[in-house]
Amino acid sequence: MEEIRDNLIARITEAERENWLGGVEGLRVSQAGAEDKLAQITRRAASALVALPMPTLRKGP
C-alpha cells in the first residue's frame, strides 16, 4: 500500500508538471484513499498487540 501511495505522489507531481489538471484531481482522490487505507492498517496493527507479563520461575515442592 505504501508503494501505491508513493507511486500516486510521483504521478501527481508529473501531472502537475505537465498541466494535466483533470488528472491531478483524480490522482489526489486515489491518494487520499490510499492514505486512509494505510491509517486503517496501522490502527488494526496497533490494536492487535497484546501485552504479556514476564514469566516467573516457580520453586519446586
Residue in 14, 16, 12, 17 with CA at minimum distance from that of residue 29: 12
Residue in 15, 8, 12 with CA at minimum distance from that of residue 37: 8
Top pLDDT among 25 and 47 is at 25
Contacts of 21 (CB under 8 A, 6+ apart): 15
Residues 24-37 pLDDT 10s = 999 999 999 999 99
pLDDT score, position 55: 84
pLDDT score, position 35: 95
